[in-house]
Structure 1
Amino acid sequence: MWITSSKDTVLTPTAVALGNFDGFHRGHQQVVRPILNPNQVAVDSQKVGGGYSETTPPFGISGYGTVVTFNPHPQEFFTGQTKKLLTPLPEKIEILRRFGVQQLVLLPFDKDLASLTPTQFVEQILVEYLQATRVSVGFDFRFGRHRMGSTEDLKAIASQYGIDVEIVSRFPCPYGDRISSSIIRESLTEGHLNRANQLLGRAYTLLGEVVQGQQLGRTLGFPTANLQLPPEKFLPRYGVYAVLVTGLAARYGKTIAPQLGVMNIGCRPTVAGDNPTVEVHLLDWDGDLYGQSLTVSLEGFLRPEQKFASLEQLKAQIQRDCTHARTYLQARKNLPLLD
């Protein structure tokens, strides 16, 4: 997947999906599908797809299948505060690549972009910059200064330049009027992991590098990988999770199946921890993990964070957590993947 934030290096012409796409949930996926190669078999979000050339537009689409998003997130620009993201940029890149997107354009969201009228946005961004031949947006997409442009405005203005606009209808959601990143954040905060994963269409993931920790888990007989995440990563409810871990193959140069694991997110109140940590114990692994980038898929929420009266009680609970996680993950092997 080609990634650029410069009009000098963008691959044109383009078939564009417009939006922020934080989380890339099932609603977002519906917006992106119209700009993908129609001959490509649907790519499951947990498998690697794509295979486009960086020099040839995909067959059947009059332009490079391009996701256009904003960097930083518009809310950060207007509020001046860092926004916690479901998918920080490295995660978003990997998910889009696996989904089959050919190009990712990161529009710098600044004062100049924010001040464009809807007509100027179409003319300067879609026509001149991207040379778009078609555009796909969600039903509630807004654009231009003060978000004054509607989807119907986009359709009317773009038609003057021969740009076809597809407005993707509302994706059904059993937990509200529509699937949204806000509902997913709320679900994760409350520990409703299954709900969040259903809305995402895949397991919520954490992507980070293994760094040196206090090695308390090793002294208890359960060595853990301390995961350093991007500071903007949105953390779910503190507690213990059953997880699947990938990324081990990079160091060992061979195919390694996803590893079963148990993960703790929180401040470790039993040992008077101050700052939240993310620690993963692999149930069937004893190799070196330092410096590796791991992807941790949250498959099940086992219990909330709690304080124990002694380290012995903590150790006994960790053993129960490991047994619970193994049973849970092995039972899920026979379940179909979320569509």
Structure 2
Amino acid sequence: MFRFKSLQDLPDALRGSVVAIGNFDGVHRGHQSVLETALGFARDHDCPALVLTFEPHPRQLFQPDVPLFRITPAHMKADILRALGFDGVIEIPFTREFASHTADEFVDRVLVGGLAARQVVTGFDFHFGKNRQGGPAFLMEAGETRGFHVTLVDAFRDGEAEVVSSSRVRDRLHAGDLAGANELLGYRYRVEADIVRGKQLGRTLGYPTANMALPENAALRHGIYAVRFFRPDGASYDGVASFGRRPTVDENGVALLETYVFGLDQEIYGETCTVAVCAFLRGEEKFDSLEALTVQMKKDEAEARAILSALEPLGHLDRKLTF
């Protein structure tokens, strides 16, 4: 097991670990600075490394009427954390009851009683407990009195000295700045969903597609993308994808991610597949005819093939996830 839904599920072999704490939505470069620090301590002490996070995201409990686009839903976040080198992730159920615990209760019940944490690593602005009463100073003092070390990691900034954050990633995805979003993430943005049946118009045009329904509040801009497509068995393929409502043929349709997968010629309906979104090609357009659409699709395919053939990893994490 890698994902644990309660402290009671955690095996004894993973107690006494270095623990990184945070929501880590997106597991972007800012999060990675915290996570890599924790992994470094675990290597130094020759002990396991765990991530402690919360499900659902606390904002969904406190602001249920405000839609929150999750960059990395829990299962995808766990996959990325595994790729980084962690030994497990504990997904604490974030309920009203849990949110009512005091900061002392969180330390005693979770960090000490549940995890027997050896070292805690978190961001410099981490707050916890009822009404956010526990802060960095509180956590460090609690560690001194309860026998665990605390390391606080400063905010990670990009080349323009701006703090890397999940909200910035969402904003760039929404604006169609995929390159900017991927740079903040440190890997190619990924989505995962079951393959569903569409109207199969692509087959008649010579471009059969693998279709995915993304969350309604997905931040990805509608348009055409060069992508890398992964099946559950790990097989990977290059492709070109359209995300949007297909204005040429079905203007009022549900938004779908439709991927023409190069070299894949078999039925995969029902499979849960992953798409790494590598490059933004153009915005969604409405064409005057299916013939004009097909001509553009051929151009999109050629451009995607050229981009993907020259693709280079953004870093070690991207190499593991995308290549």
- Tell me the equivalent position of 1:14: 17
For residues 104 and 216 of structure 2, what CA distance do their matches in structure 1 show?
33
More helix as a share of residues:
2
Q: Is residue 60 from structure 1 mapped to residue 45 from structure 2 by the alignment?
A: yes
- TM-score with structure 1 setting the length: 0.86
- Three-state SS of the structure 1 residue aligned to 2:137 is helix
Match of 1:78 among 53, 56, 62: 62
Residues 208, 260 of structure 2: 8 Å contact kept: yes
- For residues 224-235 of structure 1, what are the structure 2 equivalents within 5 Å? 224-229=209-214, 231=215, 234-235=218-219
What is the percent sequence identity of the aligned residues? 39
For residues 144 and 4 of structure 2, what CA distance do their matches in structure 1 show?
26
Structure 1 residue 337, shift from structure 2 partner: 3.1
Structure 1 residue 37, shift from structure 2 partner: 6.2
Residues 42, 49 of structure 2: 8 Å contact kept: no
Q: Is residue 27 from structure 1 mapped to residue 12 from structure 2 by the alignment?
A: no
Residues 283, 322 of structure 1: 8 Å contact kept: no
- For residues 231-250 of structure 1, what are the structure 2 equivalents within 5 Å? 231=215, 234-247=218-231, 250=233
- Tell me the equivalent position of 2:53: 69
* Deviates further, 263-272 or 109-118: 109-118
- Tell me the equivalent position of 2:150: 165
- Three-state SS of the structure 1 residue aligned to 2:122 is strand
The aligned amino acid for 1:218 is R
Match of 1:218 among 195, 203, 217: 203
- Three-state SS of the structure 2 residue aligned to 1:271 is coil
For residues 327 and 71 of structure 1, what CA distance do their matches in structure 2 show?
40
- Three-state SS of the structure 1 residue aligned to 2:293 is helix
- For residues 304-315 of structure 1, what are the structure 2 equivalents within 5 Å? 304-315=283-294
- Tell me the equivalent position of 2:321: none
For residues 168 and 106 of structure 2, what CA distance do their matches in structure 1 show?
29
Residues 172, 179 of structure 1: 8 Å contact kept: yes
Q: Deviations over 1:49-71 (max 9, x none)?
A: xxxxxxxxxx8345x31101011
The aligned amino acid for 2:184 is L
Structure 2 unmatched ranges of 5 or more: 317-323
Q: Deviations over 1:178-236 (max 9, x none)?
A: 1100000001001111111111010001112212111011111110001244x377341
CA gap 1:155/1:6 in 2 versus in 1, 3 angstroms? same
For residues 94 and 211 of structure 2, what CA distance do their matches in structure 1 show?
34
- Tell me the equivalent position of 2:254: 275
The aligned amino acid for 1:307 is K
Q: Deviations over 1:161-193 (max 9, x none)?
A: 011001111212235631100000001001111
Let me know the Cα RMSD of the aligned residues.
2.0
The aligned amino acid for 1:20 is N
Structure 1 residue 299, shift from structure 2 partner: 0.8
For residues 259 and 250 of structure 2, what CA distance do their matches in structure 1 show?
19
Structure 1 residue 287, shift from structure 2 partner: 2.7
- Tell me the equivalent position of 2:314: 337
Structure 1 residue 98, shift from structure 2 partner: 1.3
Q: Is residue 266 from structure 1 mapped to residue 244 from structure 2 by the alignment?
A: yes
For residues 40 and 2 of structure 2, what CA distance do their matches in structure 1 show?
16
Structure 1 residue 137, shift from structure 2 partner: 0.3
- Tell me the equivalent position of 2:3: 3
CA gap 1:175/1:209 in 2 versus in 1, 3 angstroms? farther
Structure 1 residue 13, shift from structure 2 partner: 2.3
Q: Deviations over 1:295-338 (max 9, x none)?
A: 11111000011111111111111111111111111232xx3533
- Three-state SS of the structure 2 residue aligned to 1:75 is helix
CA gap 1:105/1:118 in 2 versus in 1, 3 angstroms? same
- Three-state SS of the structure 2 residue aligned to 1:263 is strand
For residues 92 and 188 of structure 2, what CA distance do their matches in structure 1 show?
28
Residues 83, 232 of structure 1: 8 Å contact kept: no
Structure 1 residue 120, shift from structure 2 partner: 2.2
Residues 85, 232 of structure 1: 8 Å contact kept: no
Structure 1 residue 38, shift from structure 2 partner: 5.7
- Tell me the equivalent position of 2:176: 191
For residues 144 and 246 of structure 2, what CA distance do their matches in structure 1 show?
57
Q: Deviations over 1:252-297 (max 9, x none)?
A: xxx74x3111000001111124210110001233233222222111
The aligned amino acid for 1:122 is V
Structure 1 unmatched ranges of 5 or more: 41-58
Match of 2:90 among 98, 102, 105: 105
Residues 7, 110 of structure 2: 8 Å contact kept: no
Q: Is residue 127 from structure 1 mapped to residue 105 from structure 2 by the alignment?
A: no
- TM-score with structure 2 setting the length: 0.90
- Three-state SS of the structure 2 residue aligned to 1:23 is coil
CA gap 1:15/1:232 in 2 versus in 1, 3 angstroms? farther
